[in-house]
């Protein structure tokens, strides 16, 4: 069974995750849309039940997409979508140029060309931090510490991180898989973002590990809150940062098939994140993500600051890591014995119809073929 067939099998997990939810309604926006010299962009307004409104989404397909009859593409779901493609839409007039980066990587035989879904933030409504903060990290802030963190002021006590993650995983992804020729499985579905978008990306990996197989987190805003001084410098928030890191330690998937890219610059706001980035990398490594096993890539962007120009300079690094053909192929389904699965680490298994089971139910399941840790498990 090759990886594409495996990905198709796993695609039904997005349907399971959304239970009986129907695909969201959407409208194609024909005027005033971002442009790309390296492919085609379709802008749509997607109705989200979770977020209670329309979310603008820009879907980039490479030029060869229309010519590749039957070919299926991995998908990168990227936060802050208005900053990805077109300078006229981007904050401060500089885009990531992620479309250009993908085309430049096309000659690399180990690179798999993706579809990129740019999820526009709701900054114009003042809701970007509300949407992107990893909401379940609040469980790690004690009542007595509430007054010693800025996060409740930042979000004005309105936290929508769970709703935003549910929108991406259970509303937007099934819609994209319906409209486009995607390779919809976990090994070919990725999240990407910078700053708070980095938080939102790793949150998707933690909350929906059966859907997202990897995340790229650039200049991750580990302190969570946004408390700015008059000179636009950022105040530290150790309590909020520690809560996020504790959440990460408890919820990062450890089934051996997920991959994570992490980087930080050394100037401006990025400099304030460095001590937490060190802790985050230690946590990730203790969870089994290493460079040696191909699950981790860390990059120190020395001299880089915190803006789109710097992310543009290095975006090819996470793209090549996540979209490596050899890494995707290494997740190809293989048979393993039941005793090779560690029930203390494998939180879920699923049959080939896509039905998900808690691993502790394994002994009670009928004989047959199941998937665990990205590998085929035969129960006799």
Question: Which residue is listed with tokens 């007039």?
Answer: 93
Residue 367, pLDDT score: 72
Confidence of residue 366 (pLDDT cuts 50, 70, 90): confident
- 50-74 average pLDDT score: 92
User: Residue 273, by phi and psi: left (phi above 0), alpha (psi -120 to 50) or beta?
Assistant: alpha
Helix (H, G, I), strand (E, B) or coil at 62: strand
Q: What is the dihedral of CA 183, 47, 24, 204, to 10 degrees?
A: 40
Residue 45: strand, helix, or coil: strand
Please tell me the predicted confidence (pLDDT) of residue 344: 52
Q: pLDDT tens digits for 142-164?
A: 999 999 999 999 999 999 999 99
Mean pLDDT along residues 225-248: 97
Name all domains of the chain by residue range, CATH numbers in brackets: 3-330 (3.40.50.1820), 335-379 (no CATH)
For 203-231, what is the mean pLDDT?
96
306 touches 269 (CB < 8 A): yes
What is the average pLDDT across 249-275? 95
CB 212 within 8 Å of CB 199: no
Q: Is 48 helix (H, G, I), strand (E, B) or coil?
A: strand
What is the structure's pLDDT at 361? 73
Element (H, E) at 151: helix 151-154
Please tell me the pTM assigned to this model. Answer: 0.85
pLDDT tens figures, 76-107: 999 999 999 999 999 889 999 999 999 999 99
Give the pLDDT score at 11.
40
Taking residues 52-58, what's their average pLDDT? 98
What pLDDT was estimated at residue 190? 98
pLDDT for residue 123: 96
- Rounded to an integer, what distance in angstroms lies between the CA atom of residue 232 and that of residue 214? 32
Quick one: tokens of 180?
A: 């486009």
Q: How many residues does the chain have?
A: 380
Side-by-side strand order, sheet with 189-194: 26-29, 39-48, 53-62, 115-119, 75-79, 189-194, 214-218, 259-265, 296-301
Least confident window among 172-176, 191-195, 365-369: 365-369
Q: pLDDT over 90 for what percent of the chain?
A: 75
Mean pLDDT of the 112-131 span: 98
Q: How far is C-alpha 251 from the chain's CA centre?
A: 14
Q: Residue 9 pLDDT more than 80?
A: no
The residue-averaged pLDDT of 359-366 equals: 74
Going by C-alpha positions, the residue among 202, 218, 362, 187 that lies closest to residue 298 is 218
Is the per-residue pLDDT at 61 higher than 90?
yes
Instruction: Assign 7 a pLDDT band (cuts: 50, 70, 90).
Output: very low
Q: Identify the residue with better confidence: 367 or 186.
A: 186
Residue 18 has pLDDT above 90, yes or no: no
| pLDDT at residue 144, rounded to an integer | 96
Task: Report d(CA 125, CA 366) in Å as an integer.
Answer: 51
Predicted confidence at residue 378, as pLDDT, reads 63
46: Cβ contacts below 8 Å, ≥ 6 apart: 24, 25, 26, 54, 55, 56, 57, 171, 172, 175
- DSSP-assigned states of every residue in 169-236: IIIIHHHHHHHS-B--SGGGEEEEEETHHHHHHHHHHHH-TTT--EEEEES--TT----B-TTSPBPP
CA distance 140 to 220: 19
pLDDT single digits (tens) 348-358: 666 655 566 77
pLDDT at position 373: 54
Tokens encoding 258 = 């997920």
Query: Whose structure tokens read 């700053």?
Result: 195
Q: Which of 51-60, 183-192, 279-288, 335-344 has the lowest mean pLDDT?
A: 335-344
Q: What is the pLDDT of residue 19?
A: 36
Share of the chain above pLDDT 70, in %: 84
Mean pLDDT for 16-35 is: 78
What is the average per-residue pLDDT within 36-56?
97
Tell me the DSSP string of 322-340. HTBHHHHHHT---EE-GGG
Average pLDDT, the chain: 88
Return the C-alpha torsion angle 312, 40, 103, 174, nearest 10: 80
């Amino acid at each position: 069974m090759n990886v594409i067939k495996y990905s198709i099998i796993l695609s039904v997990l997005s349907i399971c995750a959304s239970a009986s939810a129907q695909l969201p309604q959407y409208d194609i926006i024909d005027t005033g849309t971002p442009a790309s010299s390296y492919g085609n962009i379709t802008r749509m307004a997607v109705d989200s039940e979770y977020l209670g409104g329309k979310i603008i989404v820009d879907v980039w397909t490479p030029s060869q997409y229309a010519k590749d009859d039957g070919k299926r593409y991995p998908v990168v779901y990227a936060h802050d979508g208005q900053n990805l493609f077109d300078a006229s839409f981007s904050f401060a007039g500089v885009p990531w140029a992620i479309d250009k980066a993908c085309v430049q990587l096309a000659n690399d035989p180990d690179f798999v060309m993706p579809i990129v879904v740019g999820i526009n933030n709701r900054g114009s409504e003042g809701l970007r931090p509300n949407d992107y903060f990893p909401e379940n990290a609040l469980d790690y802030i004690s009542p007595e510490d509430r007054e010693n963190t800025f996060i409740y002021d930042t979000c004005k006590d309105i936290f929508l991180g769970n709703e935003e993650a549910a929108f991406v995983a259970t509303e937007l992804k099934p819609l994209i898989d319906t409209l486009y020729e995607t390779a919809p499985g976990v090994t070919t579905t990725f999240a990407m973002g910078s700053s708070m978008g980095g938080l939102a990306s790793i949150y998707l990996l933690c909350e929906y590990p059966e859907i997202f197989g990897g995340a790229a987190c650039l200049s991750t805003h580990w302190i969570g809150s946004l408390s700015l001084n008059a000179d636009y410098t950022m105040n530290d928030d150790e309590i909020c940062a520690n809560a996020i890191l504790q959440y990460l330690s408890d919820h990062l998937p450890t089934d051996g098939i997920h991959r994570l890219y992490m980087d930080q610059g050394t100037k401006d706001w990025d400099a304030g994140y460095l001590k937490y980035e060190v802790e985050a990398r230690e946590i990730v490594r203790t969870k089994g993500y290493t460079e040696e096993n191909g699950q981790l890539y860390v990059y120190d962007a020395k001299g880089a600051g915190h803006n789109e120009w710097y992310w543009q300079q290095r975006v090819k690094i996470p793209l090549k890591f996540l979209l490596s053909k050899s890494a995707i192929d290494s997740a190809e389904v293989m048979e393993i014995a039941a005793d090779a699965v560690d029930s203390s680490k494998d939180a879920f298994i699923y049959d080939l119809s896509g039905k998900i089971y808690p691993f502790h139910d394994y002994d009670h399941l009928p004989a047959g073929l199941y998937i665990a840790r990205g590998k085929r498990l035969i129960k006799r």
